[in-house]
Every structure is written in C-alpha cells, then in structure tokens.
C-alpha cells in the first residue's frame, strides 16, 4: 500500500490573508506531493511498505536519509494542514488550556515560547508542541525531523506544528519569518489540537 497525499479540507484561498493561496497551492501540490511520491519510491519493495507511518518514523535512526526526510515530510504536512482552519485563532479551551497553563504558566507564555522556537530554528525545520509522559513541551527540529522519530532529543506526540521552511512563507513574507509566525496564531484549529491532546 502506497502512502497517499491526503485531501486538503479547505480551498487554497481559505487561510488568506495569513497564508496566501499561491503558497498553499505550491506547498501542497508540489512540496507535500513530492515528499509523498519520494517516500513511496524510497520504500518500494521493502517491508516498510506494510507499516504505518508512525512505525517508520519511530526507527528513523536505522533508515536512509531519503526515507527519514520523506517520511517526516509526509507526516509533518499531513499534521500541518489539519491543525489549521480559516478564521479560527483564539485560544484553547478545556483540558488542553489547563495543561498549557500548568506547563507554561499561561497561554501568553506558551505563545512566546513556541514563537521563539519557530523564530530561532536556524535554516529549515519545524516548531512543535509535544505531548509526552512528562507533560507538554515546546521545541524545534531541523529539516523534516519530528518528535515521533527516535533521533530527536525530546520524543512524544506532536499536537501542534509550524513549518518554518522558507517554502512555507517566502512568497508572502520574504525574509520576515516572525510576521509569518505571528499570522499563524490566527489560523490554528484549537479543537483539532485539543482532540490530538486527548488521544
Ligand atoms: Mn513544508
């Protein structure tokens, strides 16, 4: 079974003005499509073809750079499209809000910490909010690595992720990554993040 590019739950224009339609279209139809195609090519004929993506990520240290990068790229973008929604923003509620307050002191503190992780990731990578047995944690990873991989310093379940590769923002924001990070808070689907937190 080959991995499939999942359907986007909204139009390319849906996240404007925070994420522009041209970036969305290229990001989804070119970048995410390429990670999917390249992952399928890299695992073709191997035992990995029968495994769920999470199992492949969990043994990243044993895999070729091509499988590591493309399995991460496949999974990370699946998550990224899901945790965004038009005109949502706002703040988390319920248990997730309580956990954020407990771990970071306040939503504002969490926002600062996550934004700093996204802003200071040198080069290409992702900022994450991760659920682990030791609570919630913010950190960033290089390239297409993610917290499900056995190669990262802090492992857990990613419940929120922000792509800070230049391909995610350069057409609209050029070198202004902080402006893109600020805009991201307007399109986060906190209901989806809360559902991932509960799982
Ligand atoms: Mn990307």
Residues 164-195 have pLDDT tens digits of 999 999 999 999 999 999 999 999 999 999 99
- Find out whether 176 and 145 touch, Cβ atoms under 8 Å: no
φ, ψ of residue 125 to 5 degrees: the values are 170, -160
Distance of CA 105 from the midpoint of ligand 1 (Å): 30
Q: How far is CA 1 from the centre of its chain?
A: 24
The reply to whether the predicted model has a pTM over 0.95 is yes
Distance 126 CA to ligand 1 centre (A): 9
What value does the mean pLDDT take over residues 14-39?
98
Q: Is 141 helix (H, G, I), strand (E, B) or coil?
A: strand
pLDDT for 70 equals 98
HSE-CB of 19 using CA atoms within 13 angstroms: 30
- Measure 32 CA to ligand 1 centroid, in angstroms: 7
Residue 90 has what pLDDT?
86
User: Which residues make up the environment of ion ligand 1, defined by Cβ < 5 Å?
Assistant: 31, 163, 165, 168
Confidence of residue 1 (pLDDT cuts 50, 70, 90): low
What's the pLDDT tens digit per position in 106-137? 999 999 999 999 999 999 999 999 999 889 99
| pLDDT tens, position by position, 32-89 | 999 999 999 999 999 999 999 999 999 999 999 999 999 999 999 999 999 999 977 7
Cα of 169 to ligand 1 centre, how many Å?
9
**144 Cα to the center of ligand 1, angstroms:** 8
What is the CA(163)–ligand 1 centre distance, in A?
A: 6
C-alpha gyration radius of the chain: 16
**Span from the CA of 51 to the centroid of ligand 1 (angstroms):** 23
How many angstroms separate the alpha carbon of residue 77 from the centre of ligand 1?
Answer: 6
Q: Give yes or no for a cis peptide into 17 (omega within 30° of 0).
A: yes
pLDDT at residue 88, as a whole number: 76
């Amino acid at each position: 079974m080959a991995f499939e590019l999942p359907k986007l739950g909204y139009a390319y224009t849906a996240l404007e003005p925070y994420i522009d339609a041209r970036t969305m279209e290229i990001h989804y139809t070119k970048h995410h499509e390429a990670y999917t195609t390249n992952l399928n090519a890299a695992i073709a004929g191997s035992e990995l073809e029968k495994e769920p993506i999470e199992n492949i990520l969990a043994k990243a240290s044993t895999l070729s750079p091509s499988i590591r990068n493309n399995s991460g790229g496949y999974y990370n973008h699946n998550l990224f499209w899901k945790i965004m929604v038009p005109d949502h923003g706002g703040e988390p509620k319920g248990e997730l809000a309580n956990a954020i307050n407990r771990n970071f002191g306040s939503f504002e503190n969490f926002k600062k910490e996550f934004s700093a992780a996204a802003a200071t990731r040198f080069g290409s990578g992702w900022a994450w909010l991760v659920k682990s047995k030791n609570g919630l944690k913010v950190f960033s990873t290089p390239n297409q690595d993610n917290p499900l991989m056995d190669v990262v310093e802090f492992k857990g379940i990613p419940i929120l992720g922000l792509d800070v590769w230049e391909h995610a923002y350069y057409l609209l924001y050029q070198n202004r990554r902080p402006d893109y990070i600020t805009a991201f808070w307007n399109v986060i689907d906190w209901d989806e993040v809360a559902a991932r937190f509960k799982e």
